Amino acid sequence: MKTLEDKKKVVDDYIQWYFIYQNHVSIQRFKEGLATLDFVNALEQHPSLFSFMYYTETKLTADAVENIFHVQFSQPGSTNRQEEARVLSYWRDYLLYLEGIIYG
């Protein structure tokens, strides 16, 4: 390294290797998981619908996350409906748990 620019290039290359290439397999698996739900395509097609994924000063609360989704239950009284209600209860508990961890 003869110049400050050479040093900066080495640092930039290392940072890129450390954050991108070292984690490439994990990032690729994450992208593949999102692709199974066609989430990436939806994000690209309708970015305004996913504004909750961008940085904002507003706190992301359990209620805010819950309001992003619209639940469509099966017919009342069916076995599926009972199971769906139980899963929704777990989902709400999980959101409240995360909110408690994040905001204390």
- Kindly tell me the sign of the dihedral angle through the C-alpha atoms of 90, 93, 99, 102: negative
Pair 61, 86 in one domain: yes
Pair 43, 70 in one domain: no
Tens of pLDDT, residue by residue over 38-89, are 887 887 888 777 777 777 777 888 998 898 888 899 999 898 999 999 999 9
Pair 43, 65 in one domain: no
Per the structure, the count of domains in the chain is 2
Q: Which two tokens stand for residue 85?
A: 């209600």
Pair 46, 71 in one domain: no
Structural domain of 85: 55-104
- The Cα-based distances of 26 to 15, 20, 29, 32, 37 in angstroms read 17, 10, 5, 10, 18
Pair 33, 67 in one domain: no
Tens of pLDDT, residue by residue over 1-46, are 678 888 888 888 888 888 777 777 887 888 888 888 788 788 788 8
How much is the pTM?
0.46
- At which of 50, 66, 86 does a domain end? 50
**Entry field: residues in the chain:** 104
Pair 68, 89 in one domain: yes
